[in-house]
A and B are shown apart, each in its own frame.
Chain A
Amino acid sequence: MEAIKTNNLTKSYGEARGIVDLNLSVEKGELFGFIGPNGAGKSTTIRTLLGLIAPTGGSAQILGMDIVKDREAILRKVGYLPSEAVFYSGMKVKDVLKLSADLRKVNCADEAKILCDRLQLDTSRKVEELSFGNRKKVAIVCAFQSNPELLILDEPTGGLDPLMQREFFEIVRERNRNGATVFMSSHVLSEIQRNCTRAAIIREGRVVAFDRVEALSKTNARRVTAYGSAAWNELDGIRDRVDGDGAVSFLYSGDMKRLLQTLSKGDITDLTVTEPDLEEIFLHYYEKDGDRS
């Protein structure tokens, strides 16, 4: 059974674009990435799935239940980490965690304690005194403390320092190994590349690519970095060229023989040819008129 399944899910705000005919399928037990820059429709998708906003077209099921009819039953099995964590002012961290558990009608004080220790979160402080990163930690504990079947994480690492990010992803992978499905939106592609098995790329409210992360990264283009000089202008298929310090670096998607000929004719002292990282692929998807190479 799919953990998340959307069929032409659409949310429009009158003239403004939301999401259009979104088709996603996230398998149970999967660690799924949802990539897109700010304003692409990631949060709108998540808010629609969670019932905060109503779809204007299409349908979606979470854990086999309809997002409109079975909202309460779905939320019982979902832990949600918002991109920006905001809590009731005047409350202490421990009160927020207790309120969250009470709203779920569960007692998860032990799990909360473990998570707070791992994330080094002081539960005696008032939430309005916390930094953005520490508020994020409170939201993480709220989302994870009830051991939900599905974790929906919206830009999860914003505000967390690198050490905390490492600990956070360790927790995410543990939960995933224990059977939880993870749906993670991010514009930090390295996070998706390191942690997710499959991913979808969203652009202007539409899914423009949806595959395994390795497959999304798979491309004929190569990142070429050469030290020395050659007749680069004779080459077709060069993009994203950066010159500097006696070296030139570019994405090459033209004829490989032609590249080798140009290199052999030139005065090259060192050369690296690598696969482009997901970041470069991502930018490629976002070039207005770019075609997939």
Chain B
Amino acid sequence: MTIVKHELRQGRISFLIWTASIGLLLSICVFLFPEMKGEMEGVNDLFSSMGSFTSAFGMDRLNFGTLTGYYAVECGNVLGLGGAFYAALCAVSMLSKEEKDRTAEFLLTHPISRFRIITEKLIAILIQITAMNLVIYACSLGAMTAIGEEIPWNALHLLHGAYYLLQIELAGICFGLSAFMRKGSVGIGLGIAVLVYFLNLIANIAEVADFLKYITPFGYCEGADILTNGCLDGVKIAIGAAICLAGIAAAYLKYANKDIQ
């Protein structure tokens, strides 16, 4: 597990910055809830009368007066986007950075198989994403306890679980791309995260584009759907898992035989 340890050490600053930022923002959102709750009538009216914008964020089906409704929208924006960016950035550079930073020659001339290198790097990504989600989950719990609200365990588990799966899926896709790239991976990672986010917004606005919900991982993270159904959409998650595994398989197939520059 030498490479896992090495990757965790190399990525620790990025991990700390992203985790602290998302955790702090999410906590602030929760701390703002008591104030929002008092003005909820006006807020609900406002949010439900913004046409396409309202449906894009699922606010037509969520009650901002409840912690779960409020948290589903805020969580979607902060943990959804922030987590997606971190997962994409972390994974998309994991293999390509060795060639970009010209450290591949050092790593690959040591007696360690490429299969093992890919596996250990993948484990390092999973550990970082999991650790980030645990810390953020703890931040949310702490903030909810601090404002004296009853913790909506089921909703909290479902929302955080969905966003964790989203990050894993994005990481799988970006990890696969990372094996093909030699430089310029960061822009591609961020681009993919933004793309799948907007695909979901489009699917929310236009009924004709509803199928996009089955392509983008944000499709199974829709707070309104999760809270309404009280569960995650198994079909969408299965499709996401297949896409994720395809990305990981592509990484193994490509990197195992790649000519290293």
Residues on the A chain within 8 Å of B103, using CB: 86-88
Q: Is A103 in contact with B102, judged by CB distance below 8 angstroms?
A: no
Q: Is A100 in contact with B110, judged by CB distance below 8 angstroms?
A: yes
Residues on the A chain within 8 Å of B257, using CB: 54
Interface string of B1-26 (1 = CB under 8 A from A): 01100100010000000000000000
B: number of interface residues (CB 8 Å): 20
- Considering only CB atoms, which chain B residue lies closest to A99 in the complex? B6
Given contacts A54-B259, A72-B112, contact A86 B2 (CB under 8 A): no
Interface string of A62-82 (1 = CB under 8 A from B): 000000000111111010101
Q: Does A196 contact B (CB under 8 A)?
A: no
Q: What class of interface size applies to chain A in its complex with B? A: 20 to 34
Given contacts A52-B259, A52-B260, A54-B259, contact A90 B10 (CB under 8 A): yes
Q: Does B45 contact A (CB under 8 A)?
A: no
Instruction: Determine the main DSSP class of B at the interface with A.
Output: loop
Residues on the B chain within 8 Å of A100, using CB: 106, 110
Residues on the A chain within 8 Å of B2, using CB: 99, 102-103
**Of A53, A73, A86, A104, which contacts B102 at CB under 8 A?**
A86
Q: Does A29 contact B (CB under 8 A)?
A: no
Q: Does A272 contact B (CB under 8 A)?
A: no
Q: Does B101 contact A (CB under 8 A)?
A: yes
Interface string of A251-264 (1 = CB under 8 A from B): 00000000000000
Q: Is B110 in contact with A103, judged by CB distance below 8 angstroms?
A: yes
Q: Does B154 contact A (CB under 8 A)?
A: no
Interface string of A152-185 (1 = CB under 8 A from B): 0000000000000000000000000000000000
Given contacts A52-B259, A54-B259, A90-B10, contact A71 B101 (CB under 8 A): no
Considering the chains assembled together, what is the distance between the CA atoms of A102 and B185 in angstroms? 28
Q: Does B145 contact A (CB under 8 A)?
A: no
- Interface residue ranges of B82-128 to A (CB < 8 Å): 101-113
Given contacts A82-B105, A86-B103, A89-B101, contact A75 B259 (CB under 8 A): no
Minimum Cβ distance to chain A for residue B10 (Å): 6
Minimum Cβ distance to chain B for residue A87 (Å): 6
Considering the chains assembled together, what is the distance between the CA atoms of A193 and B106 in angstroms? 29
Q: Is A72 in contact with B113, judged by CB distance below 8 angstroms?
A: yes
Residues on the B chain within 8 Å of A90, using CB: 10
**Of A51, A102, A142, which contacts B108 at CB under 8 A?**
A51
Minimum Cβ distance to chain A for residue B15 (Å): 14
- Considering only CB atoms, which chain A residue lies closest to B117 in the complex? A103
Q: Is A80 in contact with B109, judged by CB distance below 8 angstroms?
A: yes
Residues on the B chain within 8 Å of A75, using CB: 109-112
Minimum Cβ distance to chain A for residue B73 (Å): 38
Q: Is B109 in contact with A52, judged by CB distance below 8 angstroms?
A: yes
Q: Is B110 in contact with A86, judged by CB distance below 8 angstroms?
A: no
Q: Does A50 contact B (CB under 8 A)?
A: yes
Considering the chains assembled together, what is the distance between the CA atoms of A102 and B110 in angstroms? 10
- Interface residue ranges of A172-217 to B (CB < 8 Å): none
Residues on the A chain within 8 Å of B112, using CB: 72, 75, 103
Q: Is B101 in contact with A53, judged by CB distance below 8 angstroms?
A: no
Residues on the B chain within 8 Å of A52, using CB: 104-105, 108-109, 259-260
- Considering only CB atoms, which chain B residue lies closest to A11 in the complex? B259
Considering the chains assembled together, what is the distance between the CA atoms of A214 and B6 in angstroms? 47
Minimum Cβ distance to chain B for residue A78 (Å): 8
Considering the chains assembled together, what is the distance between the CA atoms of A75 and B108 in angstroms? 9
Residues on the B chain within 8 Å of A89, using CB: 101
Residues on the B chain within 8 Å of A74, using CB: 111
Considering the chains assembled together, what is the distance between the CA atoms of A76 and B109 in angstroms? 9
Minimum Cβ distance to chain A for residue B98 (Å): 9
Q: Is B111 in contact with A103, judged by CB distance below 8 angstroms?
A: yes
Q: What are 13 of the A-B contact pairs (CB < 8 Å)?
A: A52-B109, A71-B113, A75-B109, A75-B111, A86-B102, A86-B106, A88-B6, A88-B103, A89-B101, A99-B2, A103-B107, A104-B110, A105-B111
Tell me the A residues contacting B by CB distance below 8 Å: 47, 50-54, 71-76, 78, 80, 82, 84-90, 99-100, 102-105, 142
Which 10 pairs of residues, A with B, have the shortest CB-CB distance?
Answer: A103-B110, A76-B111, A75-B111, A53-B259, A86-B102, A102-B2, A80-B109, A52-B260, A72-B113, A72-B111
